[in-house]
Structure 1
């Protein structure tokens, strides 16, 4: 990984921790991480992007690491999360950018594309597809569909409950979430179960996440899971506040990558089928032998697809 610059930006009412690398005059590429990850989850993409001539910007998203982690649930509304990145772009004088997002970083990327059609020139999203604004809040649909069985997003809704479980042993919780095969999210169990119920003790570290790598992830969550979990608690607010975006398409050239073994592929099967209607310039790739942690599990394939896409649609 190249030498990184680090700064703390005062933006949008918080402190945003930002790592960056590459030529100061390079075209900006933002890499937005998801749950429960960190800026370091992009470690295998930074150097290839820098060598291709891009200015790479990798924030610790709100609630993680050295960035601010407000206690209030409403502080993690989707438009506020987008506002963090928009304000950082403003502070850095960026009039154009490509935004890359994985997991929760993907909805932020999708909505930055909607909010900033002139500034955001290209999008790359991993794992989470774009389905547009639903007719009612997604959490209402999830609760109805999972009234008799466990669903991790529904479980995350009650403040304090998931935190108590996950914060009891942050290292174990994080290892189970990061190094499992997805069963932690798709287990068939009663509605009143806990997230990690029935999970075995963590096994060996996978090839893509050494013990040294894991230490960086663990440090990012040193203050616990409350901030990251609050991202999940704003489905209704997000739905209410994005009414003005209803019906809009993603106009930018877009690359979407999904692991063939990613549980999100099963959970979002309907959205995946109709995404091309909402993203006219969409290019999609399914990566075999790949789970949810796409940019790490299949780093070489991701980098090849990412750079080829950028060279065509957002050249350095």
Structure 2
């Protein structure tokens, strides 16, 4: 792990692969960390890519600012671009899952000149979720987002190791669940992670990202059994991409695609990066 200064904070970043490899930025979700990408990183490195997998804002101990507004998507975009600047890259392939997927959409929308290709696992384009919220089951699937926005109550309900936390960890490999539980148990960690959710109403009232339709080559992979992100929003995402677009629905797969579906995701990702899809 390397510590990288960006946006006035210090991020823990896992770097792998040859120094001269084409960069691939990997953005994790909640409540994961950079290690969720390990099974896929192995394939990327074998193909000669340079992987950049940060522990994002709220997850790196040196990057836990105290206000919810510090976790609006515009701040996350700035973090990613600042890391690329520090590492000396004009552009990179950008890959994201869960909240990292939302941030990947945001980076590609706000700074398409910095994005070679975009790959998103699980997370629909944000406006696609809004568009279908009242005519699909997505609003019901997203019930937890309201709970997670309530300070104190969310921390008590989601106490690491408690019943709700254990339910959320279902489907993860045991080693991943243990790691994420330990991470969230550290002092100040869980409230910082939850600020991503508490920034949602702020971004809804006053967007911190200049959202546009996506123009870069885009691969969107969604698990058909995802309990949190439904079919309607996944299929509606195509309306928000004007560049080359590939949508893959994985039967029998749920939400934890980086950890559980690496054997299916990695070949699709490598083909996409090579321009073969």
Q: Which band: TM-score by shorter chain?
A: 0.7 to 0.9
Q: Which ranges of 4 or more aligned residues in structure 1 deviate by more than 6 Å?
A: 133-136
Task: Work out whether 1:237 is the aligned partner of 2:202.
Answer: yes
**What TM-score do you get using the length of structure 2 for normalisation?**
0.88
In structure 2, relative to structure 1, the CA distance for the partners of 1:265 and 1:72 (3 Å cut) is closer
**What TM-score do you get using the length of structure 1 for normalisation?**
0.78
1:160 to 132, 146, 152: 152
Q: What per-residue deviation string (whole Å, max 9, x for no partner) do you get for residues 219-240 of structure 1?
A: 3222341111110112232134
* Alignment-derived partner of residue 265 in structure 2: 302
Q: Which structure 2 residues correspond to residues 170-249 of structure 1 after superposition, within 5 A?
A: 170=161, 173-179=164-170, 209-210=173-174, 212-221=175-184, 222-223=186-187, 224-242=189-207, 245-246=210-211, 248-249=212-213
Contact 1:19 1:57 in 2 (8 A): yes
More helix by share: 2
Task: Work out whether 1:278 is the aligned partner of 2:269.
Answer: no
Contact 2:215 2:241 in 1 (8 A): yes
In structure 2, relative to structure 1, the CA distance for the partners of 1:290 and 1:71 (3 Å cut) is same
Q: Which structure 2 residues correspond to residues 1-316 of structure 1 after superposition, within 5 A?
A: 6-132=1-127, 151-167=143-159, 169-170=160-161, 173-179=164-170, 209-210=173-174, 212-221=175-184, 222-223=186-187, 224-242=189-207, 245-246=210-211, 248-266=212-230, 269-280=231-242, 281-312=244-275
In the TM superposition, residue 25 of structure 1 has moved relative to its aligned partner by 1.0
Contact 2:73 2:209 in 1 (8 A): no
Which secondary structure state, in structure 1, belongs to the residue aligned with residue 228 of structure 2? helix
In the TM superposition, residue 311 of structure 1 has moved relative to its aligned partner by 1.4
Contact 2:27 2:97 in 1 (8 A): yes
RMSD: 2.8
Highest Rg: 1 or 2? Answer: 1
In the TM superposition, residue 241 of structure 1 has moved relative to its aligned partner by 4.1
Unaligned runs of 5+ in 2: none
In structure 2, relative to structure 1, the CA distance for the partners of 1:173 and 1:263 (3 Å cut) is closer
Which secondary structure state, in structure 2, belongs to the residue aligned with residue 118 of structure 1? helix
In the TM superposition, residue 277 of structure 1 has moved relative to its aligned partner by 2.0
Contact 2:213 2:241 in 1 (8 A): yes
Aligned length: 271
In structure 2, relative to structure 1, the CA distance for the partners of 1:56 and 1:72 (3 Å cut) is same
In the TM superposition, residue 23 of structure 1 has moved relative to its aligned partner by 0.8
